[in-house]
Amino acid sequence: MTIRLYTAWSDATQERAGRSPIRDAAIRAALLHLLADNTAAIRRPPSDTPARRVALIGGFDRGSRAVRAAVKAAATGHGWPLLDLPTVPAFGAIPPADDIAVVVAANPAVSQAAHRCAAFWRCRVLDPAVDPADLACRERPAVAVTTADGLCDHSASRWEISGSLTYRTRTGPATGVTAIAVEPGTDGIVIDRVHGDRHERARLGTTSLVLRVDLPTEGTIDGHAQIFPAGTYTFVAQPERYGHLALPGEQG
C-alpha cells in the first residue's frame, strides 16, 4: 500500500475547498516506520551520542501546522522529542545539536532549508516519498562555512553573495570578484564567479576556499535570502556529509 508522507502538502488546498481532509495519519505512519529500531536507513554514522530527536523546519500555513502535529505525534509517541524550527534559520543561527536523527520539512518551500540543517547536524533529511519501506539513503556532499568571528553554517546546494569580494584557495593568489557562488561537488568545491562582464564557472581542485567580504551584504544560502556580515569566510568541502532519504533512483 502506498503511504503518502506529505499528503498534507497536496491536500491543503483541497481541504480549504472542502473536497478532501488532510490525512495526517499517513505522515505519522511513515515517520513511525523510519523511527522503528530495525530501520537501518535512519541510522547516522557511529558517534558517541546516539541520535534521539526529530527536527522539523516549519511554516504557519494550515498544511504546515497539520504536518507539524503529525510529526510531533509520531516522534513523541516513539519517545523522541521534537526540535521545532518555525522559520528558516538565519546565517549562523542553526542551533548546535548532536542528537538529531532526521529532519523533516513542513512544506516544499523549506525543503532546501531542511537539507541545510541536515548537513549542519550530519543527520538524515526526509523528503516527500511514498511507501517508506522503499526508501533509500543517498549520502550527499555539503560545504561547511565558518567565519573568523565564530559563526558556523552549511550549504547543501548553493551559497551566493555579491559585493566587494576577494577569494583565494590554499595555493592560489587572491582574486577580486563582484559576485561568487559556492557549491558542493563530489570531489571538491565548484564556484561561479563574476568580475566585471566576465562570468566563469570552475571546479576547483581543492577542498577549501577563503573569502573576504568587505561590507555587510545580501546573499542566499540554498535559495533563502540572508544577510552576511563583513569578515573572512572559510568554505570546506565535506563529501558524504548527510543522508538524503528518498526513493531509489530519485534525483535531487
- Rounded Cα distance, 123 and 57, in Å: 14
How much is the pLDDT for 9?
38
| Segments in the chain forming alpha helices (H) | 7-16, 24-35, 62-77, 111-121
Q: Please identify which residue in the block is written with the cell numbers 528518498.
A: 246
Q: Each residue's pLDDT tens digit in the chain (252 positions)?
A: 232 333 333 444 444 333 233 335 555 666 666 666 444 455 444 445 555 899 999 877 887 888 888 888 888 877 889 999 988 999 999 999 999 988 988 888 899 999 999 999 999 888 654 455 666 788 999 999 999 999 999 999 999 999 999 999 887 889 999 999 999 998 889 999 998 888 988 888 778 999 999 999 999 999 999 999 999 999 999 999 999 887 555 555
How much is the pLDDT for 51?
56
pTM of the full structure: 0.82
The amino acid at 121: W
Q: Report whether 185 contacts 203 (CB < 8 A).
A: yes
- Rounded Cα distance, 241 and 144, in Å: 9
**Going from the N-terminus, what domains does the chain have, and what CATH number goes with each?**
7-140+242-246 (3.40.50), 141-240 (2.60.200.30)
Q: Output phi, psi for 231, to 5 deg.
A: 145, -170
Q: Please identify which residue in the block is written with the cell numbers 566563469.
A: 200
Question: Which candidate, 249, 8, 5, places its Cα nearest to that of 132?
Answer: 5
